[in-house]
Amino acid sequence: MPTSNFLVTVSGPDRIGVGAELFGALTSLSEIGVHITDVAQITIRGALVLCAEVSTEKSISVGRVQEALEERDIASGGISATVEMVTPSDVSDGRRLLVTFLANRIGAPQLAAVFGAITNSAATCERIVHLASYPVDCYELVVRGNDHAALREALAAVATASGLDLAVQRAGLHRRSKHLVVMDADSTLLQDEVIDLLADECGCAAEVSAITELAMSGEIDFAESLRRRVRLLEGLPVSVLDTVRSKLRLTPGAHTLLRTLRRLGYVPAVVSGGFVEVLAPLMAELRVDYLAANRLQIKDGKLTGRLLGEVLDRPGKARALQGFAAEVGVPLEQTVAVGDGANDIDMLSVAGLGIAFNARPLVQEHADTALTVPYLDAVLYFLGISREEIEAE
């Protein structure tokens, strides 16, 4: 015998006891073979929409289900309760994706564009969560569809046209598992470039800045560019390292990001083309236990203009992320990398989720998503963490 499916919708001003009344009514129907297959609810400013899908292999009419609701007197106080026979969705067998998008403000035009892309990709939205309303607007959608490639392409086009930062990820239990979140230091966790501050102290800022720009744009090899810049620092007293460290400014949202990651059991780490001698004391203050960076050679209390060991360059950053993941016991698909420069590209590519943070177009092309807002804690939204959870003590 074919299965009959009914959608029961309860809507109106929310009040205590509505859920109990609905499920009590459906309990009475279970005696004649009706069982619940799905439930969803949303309440916005006291307005309730509660839906239950029920199924049966027996011959039961819409009217019989409606009678059960009326017996419980659900439709009172401005609340309505309707029943309709439904058929399974055309995309019911499709896999779910998580679509997260944010901007300084998101209005009806941006939402219309996103949902238009979903519709045009023959997909459907099953759930909408408003993750944050400040300092940015952020929404997360659960989308079900069969053609993920078409959906990603359509959403990417909408993001570009509408000025949205958008990520599309697979849905699943991995979102609730421990993650390793690896950040670049200069111009990501920090607002500053450490070597530029060192260059200010030795009076070679212009020369160092020119080499830095070439390296960050990917025009010259990072390892060679770093050696050239460090050579210009020869003779600086070691006390300069403390001076520079005191001048470092954290990116807005950095403290919030680190605090929230630790509280939720995630592991923060820093992989930097900068220098251990400057960063290690700061990471200890920030309670970041995992750091990989370059080392300066120091003799007789002065910088020699040389580096110790191999340069932590673009491939080296990716290897460092992989090493930390193995040490922490986190699979690569549960790692997140955040960076802004060309030397971060391999790290962004190897991570489960690579986020280009206020980065050049070259870097954005190699990342899974890009953040163009100035707040580093916006990374948390791509992990499905809401503003309410961030601010919870």
Model pLDDT for residues 1-20, shown as the tens digit of each residue: 567 889 999 999 999 999 99
pLDDT exceeds cutoff 90 at 57: no
pTM: 0.85
Instruction: Name all domains of the chain by residue range, CATH numbers in brackets.
Output: 4-86 (3.30.70.260), 95-171 (3.30.70.260), 180-391 (3.40.50.1000)
Mean pLDDT within 177-184 = 91
| Residue 91, pLDDT score | 44
**What are 290-328's pLDDT values in tens digits?**
999 999 999 999 999 999 999 999 999 999 999 999 999
pLDDT at residue 94 greater than cutoff 80: no
Position 363 pLDDT exceeds 90 = yes
> What is the pLDDT of the chain when averaged over all its residues?
92
Q: Does the active-site annotation cover 184?
A: yes
* Candidates 184, 313, 368, 377; catalytic one: 184
**Residue 73 annotated in active site:** no
* pLDDT of 333 higher than 50: yes
The secondary structure of 61-108, three-state, reads CHHHHHHHHHHCCCCCCCCEEEEEEECCCCCCCCEEEEEEEEECCCCH
pLDDT, position 30: 85
pLDDT at 331 over 50: yes
